[in-house]
Amino acid sequence: MSGFDDRKRGEEAKFAFDAEKKFKAEARRNKLLGIWAAELMSLSPEEAKAYAAEVVAADFQEAGDEDVFRKVSGDLKARGISVGDDVIRQKMATLVGVANEQIAAEG
């Protein structure tokens, strides 16, 4: 039975590790997305940092990416910046890859 228990613990540890890695990558992606949107809005470096934190926090409103998308899309539109929904979604998809690479490089 010991071998089975060891394997079970190993699988549980891998699941927890993968979940944590996914969470970190999504948070990093949201931060990078916030910085990208802040640049489009011509925010100062301090404002951009604060805005990126707002985008990260927006992800806790509901499961999935729609809350983050709505936040960035709404803020850009409120500033009169015309960026298509498809552009924002594509940027989100690209940045998740960048975030994964950054996290992997950090170890």
Give 67-82 pLDDT, tens digit per residue.
Answer: 999 999 999 999 999 9
Q: What pLDDT, on a 0 to 100 scale, did the predictor assign at position 42?
A: 97
Output the CATH code of domain 2-106.
1.10.790.20
Q: Among 9-13, 35-39, 99-103, whose mean pLDDT is lowest?
A: 9-13
Do the beta carbons of residue 93 and residue 65 sit within 8 Å?
no
Whole-model pTM: value is 0.84
Q: What distance in Å separates the CA atoms of residue 72 and residue 55, rounded to the nearest whole number?
A: 7
Please state, for a pLDDT cut of 90, what percent of the chain lies above it.
71
